[in-house]
A and B are shown apart, each in its own frame.
Chain A
Amino acid sequence: MEKMSRVTTAHSSSAISGRTMFCHLDAPANAISVCRDATQVVVAGRNIFKIYALEEEQFVEKLNLRVGRKPSLNFSCADVMWHQMEENLLATAATNGAVVTWNLGKPSRNKQDQLFTEHKRTVNKVCFHPTDVYMLLSGSQDGFMKCFDLRKKESVSTFSGQSESVRDVQFSIKDYFTFAATFENGNVQVWDIRRPDRYERMFTAHTGPVFCCDWHPDDRGWLATGGRDKMVKVWDMTTNRAKEIYCVQTIASVARVKWRPEKKFHLATCSMMVDHNIYVWDVRRPFIPFATFEEHKDVTTGIVWRHQHDPHFLLSGSKDSTLYQHMFKDATRPVDKANPEGLCFGLFGDLAFAAKESLISSDANRKPYPGGDRRYPIFFFKKPDPTEQFAHVSSALSVFETDLDSNRMDWFVKTAQLYLLCGKPFAELCDHNAKVARELKRPQVSTTWTMLRIMFSDPANPTTPGLNHSLSNKLGTLPLMNSFSMKEMGPGMGTESRLERSKGESRQDNAHLEPGILHISNNNEENEETEGSEGQAEYMFGDAELDDDDLYSMEHENQTEEQECTLPQEAFQLRHEIMDNPSAPEHLQQDKADSPHVSGNEAEVTCLTPIESFSLISISQPLFSPHLPASFFCPIVREMLSYYAEQGDVQMAVSVLIVLGDRIRKEIDDLTQEHWYMSYIDLLQRFELWNVSNEVIKLSTCSAITCLNQASTTLHINCSNCKRPMSNKGWICDRCHQCASVCAVCHHVVKGLFVWCQGCSHGGHLEHIMNWLKSSAHCPAGCGHLCEYT
């Protein structure tokens, strides 16, 4: 409050103090203005023109300037301004085009002093010169600005904007002769008061009307403008071309903008439509208001800082017929309610996660930042007031790259190419496909294939060894996958690479990062080490590769994780002996989630694995008793297929569907099948796997799919002579009666199969060309092209 005491002594009046308060007006306000010593405020509107005294606890009505039985339209004010040099002098802009000055020192009831009726249309704005007592400027809807000398009866100069309506005029606070005007067409003009013939400079600031502007009280070159396009822009006018240095995007058209006194980067705005709040922005932080005043029930029409050197009091008038004094300390701070975390997937499966630094790695060594960013000169450096700063929000951004191999869809392409769907006995197909999956490090899929073979194969076939192998394989990996998913929930965030950021600037130079935190590894299969919030817990990535299912699990840990571990065991659930098996991994999760010391993780996993696989293997033998018919498994397989399809692995669903063929087809309704086929074919075609796609179409049993290859088999040809489409016969043109296709070898008309070179477009009978090219490399037509027959 040091500042304030200085202020009060300087102006020798009672100290500015007060609280958030309001009073009801009789009518909506259009504009307000304060007198220089900040003790009185004038409110003007269509049906109101009053002066209120600002007292400690309340507003007190001092004077009603609206006198007369039937007040004229000259009282209908669009704008009002209190002179900052002469405390008895007011000016209003009337909606009927009049500019009126008022002298409070007049003894009569009617304080009207001068009346200028030079404007043809509504006057939108009046502005006194900040230092010259007699100079008044007005801007009107008729496109003119006029400068009045109050000692004379009429304007001394007229400025023509040569464009549409003037919305705002403002004298520069520092340059005696300069003023800015904003226009309905989006332009801003800067004028020299001595040169009414032509503006000094003009630039387009907004799309649509520029409703307001305000010169920075301290920095001579800065001009803030607000427009219907919902933007507030700050312009640096010192350069040759006005340069936009800051831009704030608000949520509604900006009706007024006012720099906050003594705060270089703060400005207050209010809107003309829909949004009733007053915002105070820090122009360097354009995405969230620094403070908000939410008291008004209808649009705010006038805002003014109570004293030109005091940033703590804001006055506002509104269409809801109230006049408010807002204390800055009572403002809401939207930043407190903002969600500090953000999460997003990248195009190639990368995951970015931003959160408060403290959340990600609040180790004891890191100290919170005092005050704002040091790189900016802070205006009152001596006493950093925490409430005057944006809450310290430095976030850490972590980017989780996926394994180069797995983030691509390579596995999909390879699988599609390598899978065998027909042509071999069922068991061999399954084995082959299981092997393919295993080699691509997709053990779950691989196991599924193996299980399918077991379920549907002729039980007489001795297949046990293979099974044993695959089972243990699967069980070896499964719990590890769990532990991987779990780790993503941990406070430490398994990171592969981590970028630290604060306020959008790189802070690499700040050596507060411990080497241990910044642990960059591109290889997912290595174990990761990260810092936890309390203990120095160690985490480990499982050996399971990060295929895209796993990647998903970062987002929906709980849900997918559960499926992840329970689904493969669904197949076993029927076997009562191991009914309790699924609970084991769940228990494991529970453990991990509860325990802060997750370092025991690895040990648990390793000790669990043998038990599990033991129990399975030990009971695996009796399973193959030939009592169970293949159809017994059908419901399970159906569920499994649906599961895969839901997971997005429609490839698996379709492949199994084809391989199993009649064994499963009847279990699944045609529409679903067709849907799967269509999705898979669509995917294949996107990867340009035309052959596989055709094979799938051919092998499918859905009528809707097989007919895909029968569609559009017509080939339209044009006559080579007259370029008209040939409708009747393929070999003679109706129009020019020429034979279109002549064999280049025998010079007869080709009526059957016609083959032609895509290079030189010569061709002929299939056999003729075939024979010709056996003996010669050149085109039979003699064009010299080296044709090829493949």
Chain B
Amino acid sequence: MASNGYNTPGLGSGRHRYESESDVGPTVNSLARLCSKDEDERAASLEELSQGVLACLGSDRLISKQTLLNLLRLSRSCPLQEVRGRATELLHTAQEQGVEVPRALASGPSAFIPAKEMLKEVPDQDILIESFLSVGRVDHITMVMAMHPAYLSCFLRTQHALLEMDGPLPRHWRHYIAVMAAARHHCSYLVQQHSAGFLDAGGEESWLSGLKHAPTKLRSLQTLNKLLAHRPWLITLQHIQELVCPGAEHRWSLAELIHAVILMAHAHSLCSFGWGCGLNPEPNHIGGYTFQLPSPSHLPRSPHSPHSPAHEDGRQELGDGAMEVEVLMQRMVELQQQEEECTQEEMVTRFERERSESIPTTVVREAPPDLVLGLVEEPEFRYEDFAPKGEQSPPTMRAQDYSWEDHGFSLVNRLLPDMGQLLDEKFQVVSNMTYHRMAMHEGVDTHTLRKALWNYIHCLYGIRYDDYDYGSVNVLLERSLKVFVKTMACHPEQTTARVYHAFWRHFRHSEKVHANLIVMEARLQAALLYTLRAITHYMR
């Protein structure tokens, strides 16, 4: 996310800005130094930070809300023990002095995964510390992904390259594009993260209040953004032409366009991940903190912010799930041995069946939250199920005719050097990652299961592999898993804890997050493939 999001107020806290600028100066400085690689330097800045805060307390000066929120964030998420401890201490002192101190509403990074279990499943803290020192913060996304360090490191590399490194688009534009993309999925988490990054990169605050304040060139991305988020198969070379055509007034160069497309697709899929893991707002986000004291009658509970996934306990209906795992294992083994021949028509039918199977995903169509209201055009445009008969359904895309390895990679690398390499690496890591275990079993080859998951998402997006038998999707993916996957990939904002808890009930959380990652990357690749194909056609 934002490389150093300190002192950048979240939306709505704009009125605190002046205040914070006036007295937080040294604090901000020491915050930046907190992520120095040098231990002494860190200790010194920590010292300085506490001196500053204590001085403020002593002299009756007002401590800005921003400082308090930063302290709160540090106390919650900093992977360095000493920093976390000191920040908590300072907040405590401040409270004793009668200062109104904010309190984090969420108990951990995810509303679905208990914080304690999360900690248990993160293999080591090193990667978090590394990330804290290089990026300056550890956000909830990072914390959840840290369950899979191999993936996290290449994810962070790609994201850093997308947002911060050399590229055709200016930095604040990149964040704004990400904001636009995240708004499509009502993901206030990402919207706030990137809004902060946007302001940090010197963007104009007014843009955030609505698309109409943004330059025409950015606004012209709206159509592509909309299609990319919900129905990428509709993207044709006309859409590309409109943006790149030399006659257009605010034309995009191909390199800029590719950059924007990858940014959008990245943000869309990250929304899926965010909703799919039930990310809680950061302590300094709206809805992530409160200044009210906890009422004594209530235990601290999950935030009741309307934009974060409600914590419904789906576990009550836990049945005898151990059987399910056994059955699944059995099926995987069978599939690998099976030499069943089936006709061509049967194969097509199976694909169509998977594609058009009605999975009840749409529960409610709630209006987008205020935060993103101004940033979305046509909010009612959504993913749509394919027509069941397959007659009006858009033509399928054959994976053999346009694949990432053969075609997409070359195009991306040509227009945005290195980005192809980074994405390629990320796709490879996610498709090869395995711990050879499933729920309580060790030494399992999960390849077929991962493949089924990946191909199921691509199937939902109309991409068909000639050499894949979609019957196995039906065998391997239980209905509750399909509900989760489809909801998360196609209507991410409707993912609920119930849906999350309903599938794979005996699996570890890290395994569910693994599934999340596969869905997210498969979705990213599907969206990219359609757009890249359109661009290839345009270049022809």
Q: Give the interface of A toward B (CB within 8 A).
A: 46, 70, 72-74, 76, 78, 94-97, 117, 119-122, 141, 184, 208-209, 211, 228, 252-253, 272-274, 276, 297-298
Cα A252 to Cα B414 in complex, Å, equals: 8
Q: In chain B, residues 137-157, which have Cβ atoms closer than 8 Å to a Cβ of chain A? A: none
A126 → B minimal CB distance (Å): 15
Q: Is the CB of A273 within 8 A of B467?
A: no
B344 within 8 A of A: yes
Q: Which 4 A-B pairs have the closest CB atoms?
A: A72-B344, A95-B466, A273-B410, A96-B466
Identify 11 residue pairs between A and B in the complex whose beta-carbon atoms are under 8 Å apart, listed by A's number: A70-B344, A96-B347, A120-B467, A208-B424, A211-B406, A252-B410, A272-B407, A273-B406, A274-B410, A274-B411, A274-B539
Shortest distance in angstroms between B144's beta carbon and chain A's nearest beta carbon? Answer: 29
A95 in contact with B410 given A46-B398, A72-B343 (CB within 8 Å): no
Q: Does B389 contact A (CB under 8 A)?
A: no
B409 contacts partner chain A, Cβ-Cβ < 8 Å: yes
CB <8 Å contact, B400 and A228: no
Q: Say yes or no: A253 contacts B466, CB within 8 Å.
A: no
In contact, B466 and A73 (Cβ under 8 angstroms): yes
Give A28's nearest chain B residue, CB to CB.
B401
> In the docked arrangement, what's the CA distance between A48 and B398, Å?
15
> Which chain B residue lies CB-closest to A94?
B466
**Contact of B467 (CB < 8 Å), options: A97, A209, A252, A298:** A97
- Known pairs A73-B466, A122-B400; A273 contacts B411 (CB<8 A): yes
A773 → chain B closest CB, angstroms: 38
Separation in Å of the B514 CB from the closest CB of chain A?
21
Whether the Cβ atoms of B467 and A96 lie closer than 8 Å is: yes
In the assembled complex, which residues on chain B have CB atoms less than 8 Å from the CB atom of A120? 467
Interface size bracket, B side: 20 to 34
Interface check B38, CB cutoff 8 A = no
CA distance A209 to B398 in the complex (A): 20
- Assuming the A-B contacts A209-B405, A252-B410, A272-B406, are A141 and B467 also in contact, with contact meaning beta carbons closer than 8 angstroms in the complex? yes
Cα–Cα, bound, A742→B157 (Å): 54
Determine which residue in A120, A122, A184, A298 has the highest number of CB atoms from chain B within 10 A of its CB, and name it.
A122
Do residues B400 and A273 form an inter-chain contact, with CB atoms below 8 A? no
Are A117 and B344 interface neighbours, CB within 8 A? no
Residues of B within 8 A of A297 (CB): 540
> Which B residue's beta carbon lies closest to that of A211?
B406
Q: Is B334 an interface residue (CB 8 A)?
A: no
Known interface pairs A70-B345, A95-B398, A297-B540; A76-B466 also in contact (CB < 8 Å)? yes
- Bound Cα distance from A573 to B347, whole angstroms: 91
Do A73 and B347 have beta carbons less than 8 Å apart?
yes
**Which chain A positions have C-beta within 8 A of B411?**
273-274
Residue of B nearest to A276 (CB): B540
B378 contacts the other chain (CB 8 A):
no
User: Inside 8 A of B540's CB, which chain A residues have their CB?
Assistant: 276, 297-298
| Chain B residue with the shortest CB-CB distance to A297 | B540
Tell me whether B370 is interfacial, beta carbon within 8 Å. no
Q: In the complex, are the beta carbons of A122 and B466 less than 8 A apart?
A: yes
Indicate which residue in B406, B407, B467 contacts A95 across the interface (CB closer than 8 Å): B467
Measured between beta carbons, the chain B residues less than 8 angstroms from A74 are 344
User: Which residues in chain B, 383-432, are within 8 Å of chain A measured between CB atoms?
Assistant: 398, 400-401, 405-407, 409-411, 414, 424
| Bound Cα distance from A211 to B465, whole angstroms | 20
CB-based contact A253/B410 at 8 Å: yes
Q: B410 contacts A228, CB within 8 Å?
A: yes
| Distance of A458 from chain B, by nearest CB (Å) | 56
Tell me, in angstroms, the Cα distance from A315 to B343 when the chains sit together.
35
- Closest Cβ neighbor of B432 among chain A residues: A164
A228→B424 CA distance, assembly (Å): 13
Nearest CB of chain A from residue B123's CB, rounded to whole Å = 26
Contacts of B465 in A (CB 8 A): 122
A140 to chain B, nearest CB (A): 9
Is the C-beta of B536 less than 8 angstroms from some C-beta in chain A?
Answer: yes
- Given known contacts A76-B466, A96-B467, A274-B539, is B398 in contact with A184 (CB within 8 Å)? no
Residue of B nearest to A122 (CB): B467
> Given contacts A121-B467, A273-B406, A273-B414, could you give 16 more A-B pairs where the C-beta distance is less than 8 Å?
A46-B401, A70-B345, A72-B343, A73-B344, A73-B347, A96-B466, A97-B466, A120-B467, A121-B468, A122-B465, A228-B405, A228-B406, A253-B410, A273-B411, A274-B414, A274-B536
Report the nearest A residue to B336, measured CB to CB.
A120
Please pick, from B341, B401, B539, the residue contacting A117 in the complex, using a CB distance under 8 A.
Answer: B341
Q: Which residues of B contact A78 (CB under 8 A)?
A: 400
Residues of chain B with a CB closer than 8 A to A95's CB: 398, 400, 466-467
Measured between beta carbons, the chain A residues less than 8 angstroms from B539 are 274
Distance in Å: Cβ of B439 to nearest Cβ of chain A: 26
What are the residues of chain A within 8 A of B467 when measuring CB–CB?
95-97, 119-122, 141
Q: How distant is the Cα of A299 from the Cα of B69 in the complex, in angstroms?
A: 56
Q: Chain A residues near B468 (CB, 8 Å)?
A: 121
Contacts of B347 in A (CB 8 A): 73, 96
**CA of A122 to CA of B398 in the docked complex: distance in angstroms?**
12
Expressed in whole angstroms, the Cα–Cα distance for A272 and B404 within the complex equals 12
Per the bound structure, the CA–CA distance linking A6 and B403 in Å amounts to: 45
Residue on A nearest B409 in the bound complex, by CB: A228
Question: Which residues on the B side are within 8 Å of A208 (C-beta)?
Answer: 409, 424
Instruction: Report chain B residues within 8 Å CB of A211.
Output: 406
Query: Nearest-CB distance from A136 to chain B (Å)?
Result: 19
Q: Bound complex: CA of A95 vs CA of B405, how far in Å?
A: 15
What is the 8 Å Cβ interface bit string for chain B, positions 344-371, against chain A (1 contact, 0 not)?
1101000000000000000000000000
> Nearest residue in B to A118 (C-beta to C-beta)?
B339
Q: How far is the CA of A274 from the CA of B254 in the complex (A)?
A: 13
Which chain A residue lies CB-closest to B537?
A: A298
Within the complex, the shortest CB–CB distance from A5 to chain B, in Å, comes to 42
Q: Which residue of A lies closest to B539 (CB)?
A: A274
Residue contact B410 to A272, C-beta cutoff 8 Å: yes
Task: Give Cα distance in the complex from A78 to B401, angstroms.
Answer: 9
Q: Are B405 and A184 in contact (CB under 8 A)?
A: yes
